[in-house]
Amino acid sequence: MPLRPIRLPAAEPSNDLLWIMLGMAGAALRPAYGEYTMTTPPSTSSARYVGLDVHKRMIVVCIMDAAGKVISTERLSTTREAVESFAKHVLKPTDHVALEATTNCWPIAALLKPFVQSVTVSNAMATRAIAKAKVKTDKVDARVLAHLLRCNYLPPVWHPDEQTQRMRQLTGRRAALVQQRTKLRNRIHSVLHMRMIETPSQLFSTKGLEWLKNLLASGELDDDAVFMIESDLRLLESLQQEIDHFEKLLAQEAYACDQVRLLMTLPGVDMLVALALLAALGDISRFRSPREVASYLGLVPSTRQSANKCYHGPITKCGNVQARWMLIQACQHLGRNPGPLGNFFRRLKKRKNHNIAVVAAARKMAMIAFLMLRNHEPYRYAIPRTTEAKLARLRIRATGKKRKGGPGKGQKGVAKRPGGGRTIKSLDRVYAEEGLPQRKQELPPGERQMLKATGCEEFAESLASDRVVPRKSAPISC
């Protein structure tokens, strides 16, 4: 299709919008440039482009035609009735709607979808990078969204399905409750610290709480301290009940999801880490490579490159904060893991500090998790005992069944000689009993070379068969 130039006079209101889209201050640069020419394909469509600047209690709307002329601008409240009325009486089936990703963007997008041709939710950070100006109002923001959508410059975000949105809300609420519990515990520590009282290392364990109750009853503390601590203890008790309810529901969801059980075979990854990672990633088919997953989670280093100079800084920290934090926490104890991931962590820690090594291990674990989900394969170098225990805890939380086999309740088990041996199941046997897919028997040449270079060949061979070890000394590599 041939292109034709469109000349926009300097007094045209849309001029500033074009300079905004180019990342310039339109009002400051317009006198220097005056009249300019923009090349765009001719439009024969009657489609309109609608930009929505969504706030907590109101929405500013800008409707624009295919030529870039503003048709109307209005404001409506952020209620279901107002949005539905706007969609029925103002919008047309050929309209295209754009709004930025906010807390309430997905319910609004779901309400508008039946009434228009398309709804695009844009990446707010990328939109600000494209359209930036010193003059910023709600009307300007709505016009910019409509303009970017019309020119096909709007950076969209992936629309999560209902199940993914649900898991994001549940895992996010559970994380918020845990943060509140931590604040309450820190308040109790603060009260005791102000009274110069030394506390046990685990104050909120069973023995620690018993010590605290004895302290409150001893009369050693003043009345104000007793009142504040007892108040926080009551709040802690009710908060812990809510956390238990959430974890029970999440355990039921995790037990019914094969992907969660696959991710739990990774070292350090339990039910909550696996759920948070799946909720953040959503549909993994939208990622083309493991590196895209690491970048999506903000685990890649930032880069500043110009000419022959290149600087790599700290990680970008983009994406889901909760999933990134939980994945990093899962890698804190990789130094004791005998497999390839633990070897990678220990080698990196020799020349880097602990935090850098942990973040690098989290990046590698995210990439491995993507390959496991894409190939529907469990981790090849999991520790059998630890993996079996994790999956058993998940089963107990979700169903209450403590046994998968062996003698029933009330029946006597087979007598075992004291000081005998204990059978350590092979990893393939554990996966078969838990209903997980089997590992690949033939490893790629590159992976075999990696095992040989890192000294993990013996560990990998030990996972293939059952072993008998002394009952009182079962090593971690079992």
At 349-391, the pLDDT tens digits run 999 999 999 999 999 999 999 999 999 999 999 999 999 999 9
Tell me: pLDDT of 43 over 90: no
Alpha carbon 41 to its chain centroid, in Å, reads 40
For range 86-93, the mean pLDDT:
94
Residues 6 or more apart whose CB falls under 8 angstroms from that of 192 comprise 199, 225, 229
Confidence of residue 29 (pLDDT cuts 50, 70, 90): very low
Q: What is the pLDDT of residues 188-221, one digit of tens each?
A: 999 999 999 999 999 999 999 999 999 999 989 9
Name the residue with higher pLDDT: 39 or 266: 266
- Cβ–Cβ < 8 Å for 324, 358: no
Query: Whole-prediction pTM value?
Result: 0.82
CA-based radius of gyration for the chain: 29
- What is the reported pLDDT for 125? 80
Tell me: pLDDT of 434 over 70: yes
For range 246-275, the mean pLDDT:
95
Tell me: pLDDT of 406 over 80: no
Cα-based distances in Å from 38 to 4, 16, 60, 151, 377: 9, 13, 27, 11, 52
- What is the reported pLDDT for 403? 63
Q: How far is 423 from 458, CA to CA, in rounded Å? A: 19
Q: What is the pLDDT of residues 124-175, one digit of tens each?
A: 887 776 666 677 888 988 999 999 999 988 888 999 999 999 999 999 999 9
Give the chain as a 3 state SS string.
CCCEEEEECCCCHHHHHHHHHCCCCHHHHHHHHCCEEEEECCCCCCCCEEEEEECCCEEEEEEECCCCCEEEEEEEECCHHHHHHHHHHCCCCCCEEEEECCCCHHHHHHHHHHHCCEEEEECHHHHHHHCCCCCCCHHHHHHHHHHHHHCCCCCECCCCCHHHHHHHHHHHHHHHHHHHHHHHHHHHHHHHHHCCCCCCCCCCCHHHHHHHHHHHHHCCCCHHHHHHHHHHHHHHHHHHHHHHHHHHHHHHHHHCCHHHHHHCCCCCCCHHHHHHHHHHHCCHHHCCCHHHHHHHCCCCEEEEEECCEEEEEEECCCCCHHHHHHHHHHCCCHHHCCCHHHHHHHHHHCCCCHHHHHHHHHHHHHHHHHHHHHHCCCCCCCCHHHHHHHHHHHHHHHHCCCCCCCCCCCCCCCCCCCCCEEEECCHHHHHHHCCCCCCCCCCCHHHHHHHHHHCCHHHHHHCCCCEEEECCCCCCCC
Token duo for residue 236: 């802690």
For range 309-334, the mean pLDDT:
92
- What is the reported pLDDT for 110? 93
- What is the reported pLDDT for 270? 94
- What is the reported pLDDT for 21? 43
- What is the reported pLDDT for 417? 54
- What is the reported pLDDT for 22? 40
Q: Which amino acid is at 437?
A: P
The answer for 24, left when phi > 0, alpha when psi is -120 to 50, beta otherwise, is: beta
Q: What is the pLDDT of residues 97-138, one digit of tens each?
A: 999 998 889 999 999 999 999 999 998 887 776 666 677 888
Tell me: pLDDT of 469 over 50: yes
Name the residue with higher pLDDT: 43 or 395: 395
- What is the reported pLDDT for 405? 58
- Mean pLDDT estimate for the chain: 85
Name the residue with higher pLDDT: 440 or 390: 390
Cα-based distances in Å from 447 to 381, 428, 453: 12, 19, 10
Confidence of residue 411 (pLDDT cuts 50, 70, 90): low
For range 92-101, the mean pLDDT:
94
Name the residue with higher pLDDT: 467 or 131: 467
Q: What is the pLDDT of residues 63-78, one digit of tens each?
A: 999 998 999 999 999 9
Tell me: pLDDT of 400 over 70: yes
- What is the reported pLDDT for 9? 39
